[in-house]
Amino acid sequence: MITRAALQGPSWDLLADLQLLLQFHFMQNALTVGTIVAVLGGAIGYFIVLRGQSFAAHMLSQVGFPGAASAVLLGLSPVVGLLVACVAAALGIGGLGAGVGAGGRRESALIGSILAFSLGLGLLFIRLFSGSAQAIYAFLFGTILGITDRDVVIALIAAVVCLGGLAIVCRPLLFASIDADVAAARGVPVRLLSIVFLVLVAVAVAEAVQVVGTLLIFALLVAPAAAAQRLTARPYLGLALGVLLSLVFTWAGLAVAYFSNYPVGFFITTFAFATYLVIHVAVGAGAARERATGASRRDVA
């Protein structure tokens, strides 16, 4: 179905290109869900990077794979399976006491075990799906071009709930993420917040899996936020910048894939990685220069 669009090719007339992009219902749905997921992933991702919980996000995305697969086997929407499996896993590791001190050693071991188990389950489902390699492929690398109208509604509801929750907890969460001991003394429920946050991550992961699949999840959850934090140390600006980068990667990835006939996930991850790399190198060089001049200034003073 993309081939026909690709034949028409992009022009320098952006309006015409946009009309081309939006002429199919599947592309409208893809852009809508892509936008929802980019906003959610960028915002939640800011705190994932700040708390050093990338590994937890990765585990949740892997848990989503057997979750989505079992939902399909039961005749349910894969989105429902993703949401249920991810939230259950988040409550599980939160309840077992992990994720309290962000990025702790015990958490790593527990998450690693769950990760292996869910991949094992995934292997089982690959066998059960023997008739349809396409379905497996979709879970691993995203189903953005096959989003149904119902998936769009579910994604929108989940994102609104999730962003609303994040807006309520954002300040205490920021406090607890940076300085858990002081936050606890100031009356912030640090442990409860860490569990609430994992559930929010679970919802964001379940949404993002639809766009980039379980294997490419970091492109939307970690890379934009990490790049944003390299660019600014202002918390709310960093959060907004992460959302913006995430949106740009998703839109650009969808557009380029549409006209090129190569996979969406490849382009989104490539844009995300390239941007992160450029910013990392540029900011690193700038900081080194600043440190050098700052040090000499201090020597003079």
Partner 1 sequence: MAAEAPPHGAADALRLDHAGIELGSRFIWRDVDLRIVPGAFAAILGPNGAGKSTMLKALLGVLPLSEGTISVFGRLVRRGNDAVGYLPQRRTFDADLRVRAVDLVRLGLDGARWGLPVGRRSAEARRVDEVLEMVGAHAYARRPIGELSGGEQQRILIAQALVSGARMLVLDEPLDSLDLNNQQSISALVRRICQEGGVTVLLVAHDINPILPYVDQVVYIAQGRVVSGTPDEVIRSETLSRLYGTPVEVLRTTDGRVIVVGQNEPVSYHGHDH
238 touches partner 1 by CB under 8 A: yes
Question: Least distance from C-beta 184 to partner 1, angstroms?
Answer: 6
53 contributes a contact to partner 1 by CB under 8 A: no
181 binds partner 1 (CB under 8 A): yes
Find the shortest distance in angstroms from Cβ 276 to partner 1: 14
Among the listed ranges 8-16, 36-44, 176-184, 215-223, the one in contact with partner 1 (CB under 8 A) is 176-184
- Provide the minimum distance between the beta carbon of 86 and partner 1 in the complex, in angstroms, as a whole number: 25
**H or E, element range at 239:** helix 235-260
Report whether 18 contacts 69 (CB < 8 A): no
Cβ 128 to partner 1 shortest distance, Å: 43
Nearer to partner 1, 63 or 169 (CB): 169
Residues 169, 204, 211, 219: which binds partner 1 (CB under 8 A)? 169
Contact 69, 84 (CB under 8 A): no
Closest approach, Cβ 138 to partner 1, in A, equals 35
Q: Which is nearer to partner 1, 124 or 168 (CB)?
A: 168
48 Cβ neighbours under 8 A, 6+ residues apart: 54, 56, 57, 201, 221, 222, 225
Taken in order 101, 218, 69, 150, is the CA torsion positive or negative?
Answer: positive
Residue 281 touches partner 1, criterion: CB under 8 A = no
- Under rule CB under 8 A, residue 229 binds partner 1: yes
Under DSSP, is residue 180 helix (H, G, I), strand (E, B) or coil? helix
Pick one of 109, 124, 167, 274: the residue that binds partner 1 (CB under 8 A).
167
Find out whether 260 and 3 touch, Cβ atoms under 8 Å: no
Any contact of residue 188 with partner 1 (CB under 8 A)?
yes
The answer for residues whose C-beta is within 8 angstroms of residue 202's C-beta and 6 or more apart is 60, 83, 86, 87, 89, 90
Is residue 289 a contact point for partner 1 (CB under 8 A)? Answer: no
CB of 230: closest distance to partner 1 in angstroms? 7
Q: How far is the CB of 50 from partner 1 (least distance, A)?
A: 7
51 binds partner 1, rule: CB under 8 A: no
Q: Cα-Cα-Cα-Cα dihedral of 79, 49, 231, 155, to 10°?
A: 10
| C-alpha triplet 92, 93, 96: angle, nearest 5° | 85
Binding to partner 1 by residue 165, rule CB under 8 A?
Answer: no
Q: How many residues bind partner 1 (CB under 8 A)?
A: 28
Q: What is the C-alpha to C-alpha distance for residues 201 and 54, in angstroms, rounded to an integer?
A: 10
The DSSP secondary-structure symbol of 182 reads H
Q: Is 235 in the site for partner 1 (CB under 8 A)?
A: yes
Q: ∠ at Cα 204 (33, 115), nearest 5°?
A: 125
Q: Tell me the C-alpha distance between 160 and 223, whole Å.
A: 22
Given candidates 183, 198, 219, 221, which one binds partner 1 under the rule CB under 8 A?
A: 183
Contacts with partner 1, residue ranges (CB under 8 A): 50, 167-172, 174-175, 178-179, 181-188, 229-230, 232-236, 238, 287
